[in-house]
Amino acid sequence: MKTENFEDIKEMLSSKDEVPESLSKENITKMLKEKNIKQKRKSQHVFLKAVAVAASVAVVLTSVFVSQTVQVPINYDEQTTLSAQENKPEVKYEAIDLGIAPKAVMKFQDEKDIKNYFLNMKKYDDVDDFIDGIFNDTLKFSSTEGDMAADMEAPGSALNTNGTGSASQSFEVKEESFSQTNTQVQGVDEADIVKNDGRFLYIISNQKRLTIIDTKDMSVAFSQELKAKDEEKTFFVREIYLNGDRLVAVGTESEKAEENNEKKYYSSFSYSYYYPFNSDAVTAVYDISEKSSPKLLRYITQDGEYLTSRMVGSYLYTVTEYLVNLNGDSDGEKYIPKIEEKAISVEDIYVADREKESRTYVVVSGYDTSDEKGEVSAETVLGSYSEVYCSQSKLYVADTEYISSTDKMSGRHRTNLYVFSLENGKVEFRKSGIVPGMVDNQFSMDENGGFFRIATTDYDYNEDCDISSLYVLDGELNVIGELFDIAKDEQIKSVRYMGNYAYVVTFRNTDPLFVIDLSKPDSPEMKGELKLPGFSEYLHPIGEGLLVGVGYDGDEESADFSSVKLSLFDVSDPEKPKEMDTHIIKGAFCEVNSDHKAFMTLSNGNTFGFPLRYDLQGGQSYQFKLMTVKDGKFTEKQNFAHPSEITDYFGFLRGAYIGKTLYTVTNRSVASFDLETAEMIESVVFYEEELPTEEIILTEGIIVD
Q: Which residues contact 416 (CB under 8 A, 6 or more apart)?
A: 102, 352, 353, 383, 398, 399, 400, 401, 432, 433, 434
Secondary structure in 3-state letters for 261-290: CCCCCCCCCCCCEEEECCCEEEEEEEECCC
Secondary structure in 3-state letters for 617-657: CCEEEEEEEEEEEECCEEEEEEEEECCHHHCCCCCCCEEEE
**pLDDT for res 600:** 96
Number of other CB atoms surrounding residue 217 within 10 Å = 8
Position 303, amino acid: D
Of the candidates 588, 572, 565, 535, the residue with the CA atom closest to the CA atom of residue 634 = 565
Predicted TM-score (pTM) of this structure: 0.79
Cβ contact 366:422 at 8 Å: yes
The string of DSSP codes covering 493-509 is EEEEEETTEEEEEEESS
Give Dmax (Cα) for the chain: 85
CA end-to-end span of the chain: 33
The string of DSSP codes covering 32-96 is HHHTPPPP-S-TTHHHHHHHHHHHHHHHHHHHHHHHHSPPPP--EEEPPPPSS-TT--SS--PPP
Using CA atoms, how far apart are residues 667 and 170, in angstroms rounded to an integer? 30
**pLDDT for res 328:** 60
**pLDDT for res 84:** 36
Position 87, amino acid: N
**DSSP helix, strand, coil percent of the chain (3-state; round to 5):** 15, 45, 40
Q: How far are the Cα atoms of 67, 70, 73, 536, 637 from residue 17, in angstroms, in the given order?
A: 11, 12, 21, 57, 74
Using CA atoms, how far apart are residues 520 and 434, in angstroms rounded to an integer? 21
Of the candidates 372, 295, 303, the residue with the CA atom closest to the CA atom of residue 341 = 303
Q: 445 by DSSP, 3-state: which?
A: strand
Cβ contact 525:501 at 8 Å: no
Of the candidates 518, 472, 512, the residue with the CA atom closest to the CA atom of residue 489 = 512
Give the relative orientation of helices 45-68 and 127-138 as an angle to the nearest 10 degrees: 140
User: What is the Cα Rg of the chain in Å?
Assistant: 26
- Evaluated on CA atoms 216, 221, 225, 227, the torsion sign reads negative
Cβ contact 548:568 at 8 Å: yes
Of the candidates 306, 311, 310, 309, the residue with the CA atom closest to the CA atom of residue 322 = 306
**pLDDT for res 690:** 57
Tens digit of each residue's pLDDT (9 = 90 or more) over 276-301 = 445 799 999 999 999 999 999 999 99
Of the candidates 12, 46, 52, 10, the residue with the CA atom closest to the CA atom of residue 32 = 52
Label residue 644 exposed, middle or buried (CB < 10 Å: 0-12, 13-18, 19+). Answer: exposed
Using CA atoms, how far apart are residues 577 and 530, in angstroms rounded to an integer? 6
Angle, alpha carbons 352-356-361 (nearest 5°): 60
**pLDDT for res 92:** 83
Residues of the chain with pLDDT under 70: 1-90, 123-175, 257-278, 328-333, 354-356, 405-407, 509-511, 555-559, 617-619, 645-651, 689-705
Using CA atoms, how far apart are residues 339 and 280, in angstroms rounded to an integer? 10
Secondary structure in 3-state letters for 582-604: EEEEECEEEHHHCCHHHCEECCC
Cβ contact 390:405 at 8 Å: no
Per the DSSP assignment, residues forming a β-bridge with 446 are 453
Label residue 382 exposed, middle or buried (CB < 10 Å: 0-12, 13-18, 19+). Answer: buried
Number of other CB atoms surrounding residue 649 within 10 Å = 11
Using CA atoms, how far apart are residues 667 and 5, in angstroms rounded to an integer? 55
Number of residues in the chain: 705
Number of other CB atoms surrounding residue 22 within 10 Å = 13
The string of DSSP codes covering 201-226 is EEEEETTTEEEEEETTTTEEEEEEEP
Pairing mode, strands 360-368 and 315-323: antiparallel
Tens digit of each residue's pLDDT (9 = 90 or more) over 427-480 = 999 999 999 999 999 999 999 999 999 999 998 887 888 999 999 999 999 999
Backbone torsions φ then ψ of 448, nearest 5 degrees: -155, 125
Using CA atoms, how far apart are residues 301 and 285, in angstroms rounded to an integer? 12
For the sheet with 479-483, list strands across it.
445-448, 451-460, 465-473, 479-483
